[in-house]
Amino acid sequence: MKSLVTLGRTALTIGVAICCAGAFAQAPAPAAASNYPAKPVRFIVPFPPGASSDVVGRLIAHKLGEYLGQQVIVDNRPGVGGNLGIGQVAKSAPDGYTMVVATASIAVSVSLYANPGYDAVKDLAPVARLASIPNVLLVHPSVPAKTLKQFVDLARAYPGKLNFGSGGTGTTNHLANELLKHLEKINIVHVPYKGVTQAMIAMSSGEVDEVVMPVTTATPQIKAGKVRPLAVLTEKRIPTVPDVPTAIEAGVKDFTMPLWYGMFVPVATPRAIVERLSKELIRTLQASDVTQKLTALGVTPWPGTSQQLADLLKSDIQRYGMIVKSAGLPKQ
């Protein structure tokens, strides 16, 4: 029979071998991070082509590709208020080759959906805060209201007769109208679409009466006279549409609904890759050509670290949760 000393030595040898094997098994991870990216990166936009997130995403993707030394391919995956595309990224391999540009809608899903397909905090890692865009409330020219107050009075006089389009249940353009309904005690009917671009098309054809959407997407339609802007949902007027008053100026207190963008990756993505992406995204947003193009579209570059995006997500989950609750919206 082997002595206890011999058995102890054998156990120690096996233990060292296991530790070494584990070390060798983990060795490729730092190498993979240092060589990242070794192939094109997929950049998911969870809204349709032409939506503000698509416009912003494509501008950023092009420059980011230059800094990463690899092509960044934009892939539109619209549906379910952005949840479809975000959910796909949450379930993707955590290797840094799939990322998603999310809007503030990601903070809404917690309160509005019983099962959005992902957990915004547990399944995704914040990478960088990107930009912010003001929203504007628009009506079809046939709607007999030239001011926000007139629109509210019209809705109050004819409850349930006016409707509004949105990019889907839970999007900020949906919640903006729910907030308006709550603040002014009016009844206007929600008509969701797969994206705010489709909602704009529907309004242009007279299918819906009103839409809240990012000023970037709305500006061409405003200048062409195809829609009538009633108010911007910010605390200050917007340089691209200086004649349009804020909702507060128009008489609706607390009616603000800015839109922000942030980049996320699957939660188990190596920290070194997250930090590399964060660094290059902030660098991208600080590039003069990108800043000029975004500003010309009415987009405010708002570069921030992964921690700043995490803090923003946390605070907005609380804010939108209060709006959803006060509006009495049931979970979908």
CATH code, domain carrying 268: 3.40.190.150
139 and 128 in a common domain: no
In a domain, 12, yes or no: no
Say if residues 166 and 132 touch (Cβ distance below 8 Å): no
Same domain for 117 and 166, yes or no, is: no
- Regarding whether 151 and 128 lie in a shared domain, the answer is no
pLDDT for res 81: 79
Count other C-beta atoms under 10 Å from residue 268's C-beta: 10
Cα 248 to Cα 81, 228, 251, distances in angstroms: 27, 18, 5
Q: What is the mean pLDDT of residues 248-269?
A: 94
* Domain membership flag for residue 185: yes
Cβ pair 109, 129 in contact under 8 A:
no
Q: For residue 95, tell me if it sits in a domain.
A: yes
Residue 260 above 70 pLDDT? yes
Q: CA-CA distance, 320 to 316, in Å (whole number)?
A: 6
Are residues 73 and 112 both part of a single domain?
yes
Count of other CB atoms within 10 angstroms of residue 204: 17
Confidence band (pLDDT; 50, 70, 90) for 4? very low
Q: Find all residues with CB under 8 Å of 17, minimum gap 6, and list them.
A: none
Query: What pLDDT does 106 receive?
Result: 93
**How sure is the predictor about 304, in pLDDT bands with cuts at 50, 70 and 90?**
very high
15-37, pLDDT tens digit by residue? 444 444 444 334 344 556 779 99
Would 248 be classed as within a structural domain?
A: no
Extract the tokens encoding 158: 């004819």
pLDDT at 220 over 60: yes
Tell me, yes or no, whether 244 lies in a domain: no
Peptide bond into 37 cis (omega under 30): yes
Do residues 124 and 165 share a domain? no
Q: Is residue 78 part of a domain?
A: yes
Longest dimension (CA), the chain: 99
Q: Residue 161: which domain range? A: 135-232
Tell me the pLDDT tens digit for each residue of 138-150.
Answer: 999 999 999 999 9
Q: Which of 247, 246, 176 is nearest to 210 (CA)?
A: 176
Domains contained in the chain, number: 2
Q: Which class for 308: exposed (0-12), middle (13-18), buried (19 or more C-beta within 10 A)?
A: middle
Task: Indicate if 148 and 221 belong to the same structural domain.
Answer: yes
Please state, in angstroms and rounded to a whole number, the distance separating the CA atoms of residues 311 and 17. 43
pLDDT category, 117, cuts 50, 70, 90?
A: very high
Cβ count near 136 (within 10 Å): 30
pLDDT digits over 175-192, tens only? 899 999 989 999 999 999
Same domain as 143, residue 115: no
pLDDT tens-digit map of 84-112: 999 999 999 999 999 999 998 899 888 98
User: Could you tell me the CATH number of the domain that includes residue 200?
Assistant: 3.40.190.10
The answer on 111 and 144 residing in a single domain is no
pLDDT at 32: 63
- Position 30 scores a pLDDT of 52
Average pLDDT, the chain: 88
Please tell me whether residues 192 and 213 are part of one structural domain: yes
Domain contains 206: yes
